[in-house]
Amino acid sequence: MRIGQSTDVHRLVEGRPLVIGGVLIPYEKGLLGHSDADILIHAIAEALIGAMGLGDLGAHFPDNEEKWKGVSSSIILKSVKDMMNEQGFEVVNIDALIMIEEPKMSPHILQMRENISSILECDLRQVNIKATRGEGLGFVGRKEGALSQAVVLIDEVKHVSL
């Protein structure tokens, strides 16, 4: 078994859609980034890359390459799933946190879990997502940005002999 962890942070700006966990969330601001800036998927993808011992997200999906400009982070996560298949790993579980002052995440968390478990081909119960606010403190509380953290546990794929 291997563990990985990561944190992703992006600035909230006007004129961008807010996409978190592959869900388009109605809000007047969105996250600024080279791709769709999906903080949750970025944190999970990088934690998985780290658990495999393959560096970080930027080493595989550089923010100076045009092919990743504006791309859905779900495509990035699918590429990480392909890496896991090549390396012989599968998800044991994911525990992730979203920190954003507003909008509320609770109405969207189930869809986020479904999106991520579908891409990673794991059971919904293996993906846990929580959300919290900054309570007016720091860049999250001032609504300047949002942050996500993820901890993942992966294991070698077990083959069943008949």
Tell which CATH classification among 3.50.50.60, 3.40.50.460, 3.30.1330.50, 3.40.50.300 matches the domain 2-156: 3.30.1330.50
Report how far residue 33's alpha carbon sits from residue 55's, in angstroms, rounded to the nearest whole number.
20
Q: Which DSSP category does 161 fall into?
A: P
Closest CA to 148 of 76, 79, 100: 100
- CA contacts within 13 A on the Cβ side of 117: 18
For 38-84, the pLDDT digits (tens) are 999 999 999 999 999 999 988 888 788 787 888 899 999 999 999 99
The answer, yes or no, to whether residue 159 has pLDDT greater than 80, is no
More confident residue, 145 or 159: 145
pTM of the model: 0.95
For 102-134, the pLDDT digits (tens) are 999 999 999 999 999 999 999 999 999 999 999
